[in-house]
Amino acid sequence: MNATIAAVLEDALGRADAGWALGVMGALAEFLRDAGEPCRGTALERVTGRGGLRIMPDHAEARLIAWEEPASTPGLWRQAAALCLPEAAAAIGGGAVLRARGPDAEALRPEDRAAELFELGVGFAHLQAMVRTDDPALIATLRAAEGQPFAAVGGAILAGSPHRVFVTRLARVEVYAPIPLPHGESPAGPHTHLLPKLLASGRAHAATRPTPEGWVSCLDLYPANPCFDAMGKRHGFDAAAHARFQVLLSRFGLPMLAAEKARVAVAARAAAAYAPPADRHGRAAMRVALRQLAATTPDLPGLAALRAVHDRVD
């Protein structure tokens, strides 16, 4: 990983309004923290009482890819950046059945390093989704279920609420907060999702992401959104947050999508003819551009007409 990417990640870790996620569709660990929450760590590590994140920037092939996509709510958009590796370089031996991994010598907190790790086996070579416990009864239950799908011990895991530890080649997320009961709401801070139906799709990420073929995300960064907070609650447009992400996008976004956004802006300013792109990622960039122009420069001569034809309007 080059020094520029490491600096971006270090800066984001210093911001309490940034969120992080590690995993695949159906198996995901998220790390968030409150602005006033006690937190310790190093340049690329943060630990709170509810969870922690360590970024391991030691791979020369690591690439940061920033992107935007329209949100389902009219007028809004999502923004993120993925720390990616080629599939072969990202592989760490993630399995498809429950396996005991022994004491967690790499735990973020010293007091957790004697506890036992068990890989759940979510079926992706680049991801180890694990639970960690020092409860003798739960350890015995998990050891007895080795070689079986994690669903065989789902009830025991829910009842025991062990720590969740998700690891890729480039990052580790630990979640200490209790597991919510079925149909309960995910907490506002660090939490995990384990959804067998989504896992069955075999997809590492949604098709709407502009991830290059043969690459996978080892960590996702979600900088502060200019339109809504981490819980999805809409707020007034934050011009500073928007400007910060546009700088990130200019450095790490895909050039073809930047070109599409520029083409939309030209058409909106000149009230000129515009033909939408044929590919899904280009159309997503088009819709994001229209929504951003409506938030920043709503009086452009051709904007209303373009939005009426090419995007849902408020």
> In the chain, what are the domain boundaries?
1-253, 254-310
Q: What pLDDT score does 1 carry?
A: 58
**Region class of 239: left (phi > 0), else alpha (psi between -120 and 50), else beta:** alpha
pLDDT means per 10 residues, the chain with 314 residues, are 87 95 97 95 95 91 96 95 97 96 98 98 97 98 97 95 98 95 76 92 91 96 94 92 97 96 97 94 97 97 96 68
- Residues 207 and 160 sit within 8 Å (Cβ to Cβ): no
Q: How many CB atoms lie within 10 A of CB 263?
A: 19
Element housing 87 (H / E):
helix 87-90
Alpha-carbon distance of 211 to 207, in angstroms, equals 9
- Which residues, in sequence order, are bridge partners of residue 63? 84
Alpha-carbon distance of 302 to 287, in angstroms, equals 14
pTM value is 0.94
Alpha-carbon distance of 43 to 58, in angstroms, equals 14
Q: What pLDDT score does 2 carry?
A: 77
Q: What pLDDT score does 211 carry?
A: 93
Q: How many CB atoms lie within 10 A of CB 223?
A: 20
Query: Phi, psi at residue 40, to the nearest 5°?
Result: -130, 165
Q: How many CB atoms lie within 10 A of CB 266?
A: 12
Alpha-carbon distance of 218 to 81, in angstroms, equals 11
What are the distances in angstroms from CA 160 to CA 126, 132, 150, 213, 272?
Answer: 27, 10, 14, 39, 62
- Residues 34 and 16 sit within 8 Å (Cβ to Cβ): yes
